[in-house]
Structure formats: structure tokens, C-alpha cells
Structure 1
Amino acid sequence: MSSVALLSNPRSTGNRALLPRVREICAAHPDIFHYEVEDVDQIGEAIRTIAMVSPRIIVVNGGDGTVQAALTELYSGDYFGGSPPPVAVLPNGKTNLIALDLGAEGDPLKALERVIELVESGRIEDHVIQRQLIALNSGGDERPVLGMFLGGAYLADVMLYCRNRIYPLGLPNGLSHVLAAILGLFAMLLGIGGGRLPPKPQPMVVSLIRQGELHGKFSLLIVTTLEKLLLSIRTNDSPGPRGQMKLLAVERGAGALFRMLGATFRGTLGQNHLEGVHFQQGDEIRIEGERSNVILDGEIFVANSGRPIVLTSTQPVPFLRLAA
């Protein structure tokens, strides 16, 4: 039995320079079981092997795709008899939304050392929190893909634009995100798109069971079980009576977008009605569109008319919060 099982993806961008230091930490702590994969397709076998050593904590060290694949295997593969140990996520991806929600930010090595400190001090239980996952079903017989943050509509288009056009420039992640956001806002305000700019928003239909449908073109579509949506937009800690997934949809246009941002800065988002801004909670959400992209924790899916993407929430699962 190992106290900590560490799953690393050496091919993730952050690990190319970081992994030698990670290996040094593991060598200094024999109680860490370190499993390295070369591809996300190997994560199922990795989780199966990790289950054999019965760790108290599983730490994921990789990009957004590694985290998403690990969560899917952990909670769909039943390697731990339905009771997997808490998961900690190192801030080693492009966006780090899950890691930030769990109190891990900055240096991934310090986050790993924090996990070791909590294990050695016997204070794990004091830092275990419950989060639900989003189960995404895109049709067919494939098992659902699990994650915690979905971006869609024009937001997904800008995220893909950043990934395909801005990241290759080699700029720091933060600067890349700001540049993509500025160019996306510029294109939206002028009603242009394509070419060297993000594409124009496409029509979508978002359905919440028992709560009606939203139709139109949206500049922002977020579904999450995290406490923070994006850009430090904080959600209600309490799930409330309508389900565990939080939905934020902002209609296309500068007015709705700036009303949403204003409510965010005032801390009143979701408390009052705002024209063009929809903030709801639901236990099942359907997304349809004309080849509209959505991104769940780094993985791309396409919503089509007549073949919706269906989102449901899982039962609460344990994670390790690293913040004090």
C-alpha cells in the first residue's frame, strides 16, 4: 500500500521541464507510487495498476486532457469498487481551472509537496471536499466522458482559436488567454469573424429539463460543477433545489456581456434578472446546434441538430483541497 499515487503525463507541456524535479521528489519519498504514461490512451491501464497499491490519495500531474481522462477512468472504470480515494490535481495545464478550484495554484512542485505534507501529518480528512462531475453523452454506445468544466458557443470558438492560433506563438499562457479574449471581443463587437479572427457565433439550443429552452447565438456558454465558472466568476456553494450543474449563458452582443461582467464584479451574478444573461441550475442539460463546438476539460465535442450533447451530474465524489 502506498500513501500517494502520482499519475504523470510526460508529454503535457508543463511536464517537459518539470518532470525531472517531480522524479527527484518521488525518489526522496518511497511511499509515492509514480506511474508515467506516454499517451492518454494508457490512463485506463494506469488507473488499474494504481488501484492495486490502494493509495490514500491520487495526484494527477498533467494537462487538461490528462485530468479529464483520469476522472473518466476513476469514476467509470470501477477499479476501486465504487469508492476511489480523493483526487488532487497539480496546476500543470493550460487553464488549470480544476486545480484552482481545489486550491492548487502557482508552482506544481509546491502543490505536490503540500499533498505530501497533508499525508504525513495525517490531516487528509480535514481537506477532503465533495464535488460532482459532469457526465457528457454525445450519442452512440460510448460510455459518458466525465469532467467539471464545459465551455461552449463563442467561448469554445475563442478557446479553440487560442489553442490553434495563439499557443503556437510561444507566448506565456496568461498572455495568450488575454490576447485571444481581446481579439474575440473585437470580432464580436464588429460583427466579423473567420480568417485570422475567431469565427462568428452560431445558433444553438440549450434545454434544461423542466425549465424550458434557450434559443439564439451566445457569446458565452458555461456548464460547471466548480465553485468558479471562469475569470473568477464565483458560483453558489450550495447546489440548490434545481440540480448540481450551474449554467451561464450570455446572449451575443456587447450589452449582455458587459451586464454579466458588471454583475460579476459586484458579486451579484445570479441574484437578479439581467437582460440577455441566463444563470440557472439543472440536473440535465441538452445542447444542440449546427456543428457547434463544446469543450469539456480540454476535449472537443460537436453538438448537431437532432443529435444533442446531453449533460448530467454524477453523485458527489471526493477531492483534496490544498488551500489552508
Structure 2
Amino acid sequence: MASVALLSNPRSTGNRALLPRVREYCAAHPDIFHYEVEDVDQIGEAIRTMAMVSPRIIVINGGDGTVQGALTELYSGGHFDGSPPPVAVLPNGKTNLIALDLGAEGDPLKALERVVELVESGRLEDHVVQRQLISLDSGDNAAPVLGMFLGGAYLADVMLYCRNRIYPLGLPNGVSHFLAGILGLFAILFGLGGGRLPPKPETMTVSLIRQGELKGKFSLLIVTTLERLLLSIRTSDGGGTNGHMKLLATDSNVGAMLRMLSATWRGTLGHRPLDGVHFQQGDEIRIEGERSNVILDGEIFQAKSGMPIILTSTQPVPFLRLAA
């Protein structure tokens, strides 16, 4: 038996320097069951093995792909008798959106120490919060994939551009994200795309059951169950009450982008309608297009004509919030 089960991916960028410290910490705390995976294909076996030690909490130490794979196995793999234990996410990887939403910032080892402290003090349940997951069906007869943050439209293109063209330069993550965002904004402002810049936006259709359909070219498409996402936008204060998934889409023009950024700066995004800015909630969302990339917690999917990506929200599942 172990109180804490820790899943680490040594190949995660953040773990290259961190993992030796994590191993040393776990060696000094025998109540932590530490399982390392070299590839996301090993996550299923990792979660199955963790279930055997009946942990009170599962901690994920890896990038977005590791988190997405672990959530899918936890809630679709049937490895636990009954509901899986709460999940804590260390602030590792390149984006850390899920970790930030759950109050984990700064040094990942400090976050792990905080988890152990809560377990040992008996105050774990006081920090458990409920979140829905996004279930993504890509229409290719594969099992649905679970996650919490989906980026699509031009946002996905810029994210892929950053991954393929900027990260190899070896710059710090924050600098890489800033540079990719500036180049993407530059391309939109001047109607450019391709070559050394992100590609131009493609037409796509986004359908919300009972709320209607959006069709056009979008500079930003976000679907999430998180309370906080890119640009420090909070999603819990606006946008309606018709489901658990929050949708933010911005038309691909300068005016819509500026209105969205201005409302974000003022903290009023979602409080009132804005021309070209769509902020809604729904319990089923369909995304379709000729070449429409979406990224769910680091994993790439592509919507095609006649084969839409279908998103639905799950029942609430427990996570550990580290903030006081």
C-alpha cells in the first residue's frame, strides 16, 4: 500500500533537470510509489500497477501528453474498483494550464512536497475540487480521449508552429510562446501566412447542440473545462449555463482580436456580447473542416469534412487543488 502514487515521464522537458531530485525525494519517502514511463504507450500499464497499491492520490509529473494519457486511462481503463482517487498535476511540461488551474505553480518538487504534506496532515479532502473532462471522439473508431483543454483553428496552427519551428531553437518556454504569439499576430494583421510564418487560417464549422452553429475562419478557438486558461481568462464568471464545456472563438480579423484582448485586459470577457467574439457553453460541440487541426492537452487531431470531431463533457471527477 502507498498513500501517494507518482507517475513520471523522464522524457518530459521539465524532468531533464528535475527527475534526479524527485527520485531522491521519493527514496526518502517510502510511502510514495514512483512509477516512471518512457513512452505514453506505457501509461496504461502504469495506472494498472498503481491501482494495485490503492493510493489515496495520484500525482502526474510530466508534460501535457502525459497528463492527457493518464486521465484517459484513469477514467476509461477500468483499473480501479469504483472511482479512481483524486489527481494532482505538478507544474511540469511547456504550458502547465491544468497545473495552473489547480493552483500548482513554481518548483514541481515543492508542489509534490505540498501534496505529501496534505496527505500526512489528513487535510486532503479539504483541497479536493471537481472538474469535468472533455471526451474527444475523432470518428475513426478509436476509443475517446479525455483531457481538459482543447485549442483549435489558428491557435492550433500557431501552437504547432511553435512546437515544430520555435522549440528546436532551444529558447526558454516563455520566450518561445511569446515569439510564436507575436509572429502569429503579425501574420493576421497583415494577412500573411506560410513560409517562415504560421499558415493562414482555414474555414471551419463549430456546432453547439441547441445553441447553433459558427462557421468561418477563427484566429482563436478554445474549448475547456478549466476555470483559467490562456491570457489569464477566467471561464467561470460568464458565458451562460448550458453545459460544462466553455467555448471561446474569435473571428479571424484584427477588430475581433482587439475586442477580445481589450475585454480580457478589463476582466469583462464573456460579460456582454462582442462583435466577432463568441463565448458560449455547451454539453456537446462538433468541429468540422477540410483541414482543421485541434490539440487536446498536447495531442493533435484533425477534423475532416464528413468526419467531425465530437466533444462531450464527462461527469465531475476529483482533482487536488494545491492553492490555499
Question: Normalising to structure 2: TM-score of the pair?
Answer: 0.98
Q: Counterparts of 2:41 and 2:58 in 1: how far apart (Å)?
A: 18
Q: Structure 1: which amino acid aligns with 2:31?
A: D
Point out where structure 2 has 5 or more consecutive residues left out of the alignment: none
Q: Give the residue type in structure 1 aligned to 2:158.
A: V
| 2:232 aligned counterpart, secondary structure | coil
Q: In the aligned structure 1, how far is the partner of 2:179 from the partner of 2:170?
A: 13
One-letter amino acid matched to 1:5: A
Alignment correspondent of 1:321: 321
Letter in 2 for 1:122: G
Aligned to 1:299: 299
Structure 1 residue aligned with 2:83 = 83
CA contact (8 A) 1:149 1:297 kept: yes
Which position in structure 1 is the counterpart of 2:138?
Answer: 138
User: Per the alignment, in what secondary structure is the counterpart of residue 311 of structure 1?
Assistant: strand
Tell me which amino acid in the other structure corresponds to 2:45: E
Q: How many residues align?
A: 324
SS of 2:46's partner is helix
Check whether the contact 1:64–1:298 (CA below 8 A) recurs between aligned residues: yes
Q: Cα RMSD over matched residues?
A: 1.0
Q: Which residue of 1 aligns with 2:246?
A: 246
**What letter is aligned with 2:242?**
R
Q: Which residue of 2 aligns with 1:272?
A: 272
Deviation at 1:78, TM superposition (A): 1.4
**Structure 2 residue 115 is the aligned partner of structure 1 residue 99:** no
Deviation at 1:237, TM superposition (A): 5.7
Q: Alignment partner of 2:214: what SS? A: strand
Q: Is the 8 A contact 2:92 2:108 kept in 1?
A: yes
Kindly report which structure 2 residues correspond to 1:164-243, keeping only aligned pairs within 5 A, or say none: 164-236=164-236, 241-243=241-243
2:52 and 2:10 map into 1 onto residues whose CA distance is 22
1:79 Cα deviation from its structure 2 partner: 1.0
Mean CA deviation greater in 116-125 or 218-227: 116-125
2:34 corresponds to which residue? 34
Alignment partners' CA distance in 2, 1:186 and 1:88: 37
Matched residue type, 1:116: V
Deviation at 1:240, TM superposition (A): 5.6
State the 1:17 CA deviation.
Answer: 1.2
- Tell me the distance in 1 between the aligned counterparts of 2:250 and 2:233: 13
SS of corresponding position for 1:275: coil
The Cα of 1:80 is off from its aligned counterpart by 1.2
Q: Which residue of 2 aligns with 1:119?
A: 119
Q: Give the Cα–Cα distance (whole angstroms) in 1 for the partners of residues 297 and 16 of structure 2.
A: 21
- Structure 2: how far apart are the matches of 1:290 and 1:222? 19
Residues 76 and 87 (structure 1 numbering): CA distance in 2 closer, same or farther, change over 3 Å? same
| 1:275 maps to amino acid | D
Task: Quote the Cα distance in structure 1 between the aligned partners of 2:251 and 2:115.
Answer: 41
| 8 Å CA contact 1:222, 1:248 repeated in 2 | yes
Question: Which letter maps to 1:189?
Answer: L
Q: Distance in 1 between matches of 2:64 and 2:172?
A: 17
Corresponding letter in the other structure for 2:269: L
Deviations along 1:285-308, one digit per CA (max 9) or x if unpaired, are 000011110000000000111100
Q: Secondary structure at the match of 1:156?
A: helix
* 1:83-124 per-position Cα deviation (integer Å, ceiling 9, x unaligned): 000000001110000000000011111111110111111110
- TM-aligned CA deviation for residue 200 of structure 1: 0.1
Output the amino acid matched with 1:221: L
Offset of residue 229 of structure 1: 2.5
Inter-partner Cα distance in structure 1 for 2:82 and 2:122: 24
Aligned mates of 1:236, 1:285 — CA distance in 2: 18
State the SS of the aligned residue for 1:268.
coil
Give the Cα separation in 2 of the matches to 1:34 and 1:207.
Answer: 42
* Distance change >3 Å, CA 240–CA 274, structure 1 → 2: closer
1:242 to partner: Cα distance: 0.4
Distance 1:84 1:239, change over 3 A: farther
The equivalent of 1:255 in structure 2 is: 255
Question: For residue 276 of structure 1, what is the amino acid of its counterpart?
Answer: G
Q: Per the alignment, in what secondary structure is the counterpart of residue 231 of structure 2? A: coil
Deviation track 1:173-221 (CA, whole Å, cap 9, x = no partner) reads 0000000000000011100100100000000000000111001000000
2:239–2:279 contact (8 Å) kept in structure 1: no
Runs of 4 or more off by more than 2 Å in structure 1? 237-241
Give 5+ residue unaligned stretches, structure 1.
Answer: none
More moved, 219-228 vs 230-239: 230-239
Report how far residue 241 of structure 1 moved.
Answer: 3.4
Give how far 1:167 is off. Answer: 0.4
CA, structure 1 residues 254+238, in 2 after alignment: closer, same or farther (shift >3 Å)? closer
> What amino acid sits opposite 1:205 in the alignment?
T
